[in-house]
Structure 1
């Protein structure tokens, strides 16, 4: 397996983990009171939109040329870091 394939596989696994985390946050949001539930659902919608952006980055990586791969990978890593921070922040607020 090439470094590129290993990286793509790692990113796919991270996206799966992220989806599991979003599902947990959804469950917490459903158990919240009405006002808090609305806020949490809106935040979950934002997280899911960012997750979709990450999925698109993964697709770009998969279809990129060798020359463009490093640049796209750097962008994907920045997007992943930002998304990870957003998930941590949401997890802390949903306690």
Structure 2
């Protein structure tokens, strides 16, 4: 059970870090031209949606146990990878 707790704590900290990075991306948009701002805002919105889905998956992890926990964890790992990759892609576009 300790592994479950450590996993959730690690992922919770990672979600907070990603949230801060998304906030930085939003702050950078202030200097963009209107058309670029719209495009980047859509990307940030997509990241926020992925972040929200990952957060919801964290809540599921808190309720799951045994084999169900393992299945939720596998799905959560995929979601984390998608969010991480999406954030890296957005960061490269915001430079």
Report the TM-score when normalising by structure 1.
0.96
Distance 2:72 2:93 in 1: 32
Q: Deviations over 1:34-75 (max 9, x none)?
A: 111111111111100110000000000001122211111011
Instruction: Please give the root-mean-square deviation of Cα atoms over the aligned residues, in Å.
Output: 1.0
Is 1:77 the counterpart of 2:71? The answer is no
**1:54 aligned partner:** 54
Ranges in structure 2 where 5+ consecutive residues have no aligned partner: none
Q: Deviations over 1:64-89 (max 9, x none)?
A: 12221111101100110111000000
SS in 2 for 1:7: helix
**1:65 aligned partner:** 65
**1:9 aligned partner:** 9
**1:36 aligned partner:** 36
Distance 1:23 1:59 in 2: 22
Ranges in structure 1 where 5+ consecutive residues have no aligned partner: none
Distance 2:31 2:42 in 1: 15
